[in-house]
């Protein structure tokens, strides 16, 4: 008997002894899978048994382990490929696209937003996304995160920025599009920053509110009711102040940016991620590589706004030219960024398009030239590192959270549409989706 076979035999023996002595527990599972994805080494592993107790993976054993007298529940995924739960690094769980979205912000109370967010969170989880980074809302997203953590509602693990930070009139100024009588003069409490001191106060306010990170709008945006979609909207000094203060509180900073100058200022200011990156130059790509800044591409959102921008009445007229210009460019730019060697983290901007369609990003990233295993890594291991959760999230490994997703069949370009309808989803050791 080889050393390897002997190790497997001994491992299985001890599992049999351990299991036979346990008591019946509905939170104990053995998941049998045909394959599983080792995202750390970019490898597809063969038939294996994944042991889950409570909310943790306790062991990963090669082969199909069927010990006698087991008190574990068996989940049979013999035709499936198992992956770590997917992580979407750019969502907006408080809202969803519609032709009436712009007027709804004057009609909806926080309670209305909260009820909608519960539905969007559950849809996201069932789509295989067991963790998300929520990059901006009214602040209801912080309450949603807490409700999910308490078990009051079903949803993914939420890491939230609360309210995004903007300059006056910038992409995340909450009063853009309002009448003059309603505009007022929002400041750091409302997420509007116009100085170094404002920047510090705004970050500290997000900490006080219960956010996990900071999101800034470094350039104009497509869907805001403002003319430019890509002009720079913060000074380097303001961004540095935001990032330095954020570091004091253990936050990282994400920067929405379509225009190149705004991206360069954000990189120099110390952000961790650039969201969208639509008009990124080679110089900016080199800056990102040098400083280790990640790109979050959001191709799905770009394609959606481009399509809807062509429809009369879907967006306000001030938005349509931006949607038609910027939307079609995101996928092509992403392909260049990947080939250049920029670090990539998976993110979709869900809410800009319907929640639950997040997995379309797998298809678009692969189309643009990123190998599918690397796309999966960008949606698992890479986000876990950015979130500083790499010791517990993003891998199928002993001691990690039992956040898992499986598709029927192989991980391949030919089977990529299987990502759109996961056959199995587990979050925190609880079965969310199981295809019969």
* Residues 77, 92 within the same domain: no
Burial class (CB in 10 A: 0-12, 13-18, 19+), 24: exposed
What are the C-alpha distances in Å from 408 to residues 215, 322, 363? 36, 39, 16
Please state the length of the chain. 436
* Residues 401, 256 within the same domain: no
Print the domain residue range for 417.
3-85+395-434
Q: Which residue has the tokens 């009820």?
A: 115
Q: Supply 407's token pair.
A: 């598709």
* Residues 186, 265 within the same domain: yes
* Residues 188, 326 within the same domain: yes
**Contact (Cβ atoms closer than 8 angstroms) between residue 65 and residue 30:** yes
* Residues 234, 355 within the same domain: yes
Reference 352, options 88, 130, 167, 84; nearest CA is 88
Residues 6+ apart with CB under 8 A from 26: 73
What is the dihedral sign for C-alpha 165, 238, 280, 214? negative
- Measured CA to CA, the distance from residue 220 to residue 209 in angstroms comes to 25
* Residues 259, 291 within the same domain: yes
Reference 162, options 133, 122, 195; nearest CA is 133
- Measured CA to CA, the distance from residue 262 to residue 198 in angstroms comes to 19
**How many domains, in total, are found in the chain?**
2
Q: Supply 116's token pair.
A: 């909608």
Q: How far apart, in Å, do the first and last CA atoms of the chain sit?
A: 39
* Residues 58, 169 within the same domain: no
**Contact (Cβ atoms closer than 8 angstroms) between residue 124 and residue 93:** yes
- Measured CA to CA, the distance from residue 294 to residue 89 in angstroms comes to 11
Helix (H) or strand (E) holding 209: helix 196-209
Reference 232, options 266, 272, 198, 281; nearest CA is 266
Residues 6+ apart with CB under 8 A from 101: 95
* Residues 303, 349 within the same domain: yes
Q: Kindly give the pairing relationship between strand 129-134 and strand 157-160.
A: parallel
- Measured CA to CA, the distance from residue 345 to residue 292 in angstroms comes to 12
- Measured CA to CA, the distance from residue 119 to residue 154 in angstroms comes to 9
Reference 377, options 366, 388, 351, 368; nearest CA is 366
In the prediction, which pLDDT does 177 show?
66
The CATH number of residue 45's host domain is: 2.30.40.10
310-331 b/e (C-beta count within 10 Å ≥ 16 → b) = eeeebbeeebbebbbbbbbbbb
In the prediction, which pLDDT does 10 show?
37
Q: What are phi and psi of 89, to 5 degrees?
A: -90, 10
**Contact (Cβ atoms closer than 8 angstroms) between residue 115 and residue 122:** no
* Residues 347, 254 within the same domain: yes
pTM beyond 0.85, yes or no: yes
The CATH number of residue 284's host domain is: 3.20.20.140
Work out the number of other CB atoms within 10 angstroms of the CB of residue 386. 22
Q: Kindly give the pairing relationship between strand 73-84 and strand 28-38.
A: parallel
* Residues 277, 399 within the same domain: no
In the prediction, which pLDDT does 178 show?
62
**pLDDT tens digit at each of 436 positions of the chain:** 444 433 433 344 333 333 333 333 458 999 999 999 999 999 999 999 999 999 999 999 999 988 776 788 999 999 999 999 999 999 999 999 999 988 887 788 899 999 999 999 999 999 999 999 999 999 999 999 999 999 999 999 999 999 999 998 778 767 666 667 765 777 788 889 999 999 999 999 999 999 999 999 999 998 888 888 899 999 999 999 999 999 999 999 999 999 999 999 999 999 999 999 999 999 999 999 999 999 999 999 999 999 999 999 999 999 999 999 998 999 999 999 999 999 999 999 999 999 999 999 999 999 999 999 999 999 999 999 999 999 999 999 999 999 999 999 999 999 999 999 999 999 999 999 998 7
- Measured CA to CA, the distance from residue 394 to residue 9 in angstroms comes to 28
* Residues 344, 401 within the same domain: no
Q: Which residue has the tokens 């394609």?
A: 303
* Residues 351, 214 within the same domain: yes
């Amino acid at each position: 008997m080889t050393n390897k076979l002997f190790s497997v035999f001994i491992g299985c023996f001890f599992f049999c002894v351990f299991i036979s002595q346990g008591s019946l527990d509905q939170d104990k599972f053995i998941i049998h899978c045909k394959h599983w994805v080792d995202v750390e080494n970019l490898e597809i592993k063969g038939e294996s048994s994944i042991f889950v107790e409570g909310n943790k993976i306790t062991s990963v054993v090669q082969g199909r382990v069927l010990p006698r007298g087991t008190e574990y529940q068996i989940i049979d995924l013999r035709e499936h490929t198992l992956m770590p739960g997917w992580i979407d690094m750019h969502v907006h769980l408080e809202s969803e696209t519609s032709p009436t979205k712009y007027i709804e912000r004057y009609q909806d109370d926080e309670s209305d937003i909260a009820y909608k967010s519960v539905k969007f969170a559950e849809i996201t989880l069932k789509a295989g996304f067991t963790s998300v980074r929520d990059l901006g809302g009214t602040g209801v997203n912080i309450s949603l995160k807490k409700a999910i953590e308490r078990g009051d509602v079903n949803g993914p693990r939420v890491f939230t920025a609360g309210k995004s930070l903007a300059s006056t009139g910038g992409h995340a100024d909450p009063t853009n599009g309002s009448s003059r009588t309603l505009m007022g003069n929002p400041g750091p409490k409302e997420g509007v920053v116009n100085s170094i001191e404002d920047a510090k106060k705004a970050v500290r306010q997000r900490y006080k509110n219960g956010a996990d990170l900071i999101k800034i709008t470094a350039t104009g945006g497509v869907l805001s009711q403002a003319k430019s979609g890509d002009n720079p909207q913060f000074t380097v000094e303001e961004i540095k102040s935001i990032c330095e203060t954020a570091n004091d509180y253990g936050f990282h900073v994400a920067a929405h940016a379509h225009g190149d100058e705004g991206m360069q200022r954000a990189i120099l200011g110390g952000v961790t991620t650039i969201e969208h990156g639509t008009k990124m130059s080679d110089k900016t790509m080199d800056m990102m590589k040098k400083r280790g800044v990640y790109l979050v591409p959001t191709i799905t959102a770009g394609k959606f706004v481009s399509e809807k921008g062509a429809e009369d009445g879907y967006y306000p007229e001030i938005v349509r030219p931006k949607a038609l210009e910027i939307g079609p460019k995101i996928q092509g730019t992403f392909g260049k960024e990947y080939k250049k060697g920029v670090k990539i983290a998976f993110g979709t901007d869900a809410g800009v398009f319907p929640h639950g369609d997040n997995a379309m990003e797998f298809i678009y990233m692969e189309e643009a030239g990123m190998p599918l295993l690397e796309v999966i890594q960008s949606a698992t291991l890479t986000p876990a590192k950015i979130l500083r959760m790499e010791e517990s999230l993003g891998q199928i490994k002993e001691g990690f959270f039992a956040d898992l997703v499986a598709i029927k069949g192989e991980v391949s370009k030919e089977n990529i549409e299987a990502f759109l309808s996961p056959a199995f989803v587990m979050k925190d050791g609880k079965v969310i989706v199981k295809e019969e």
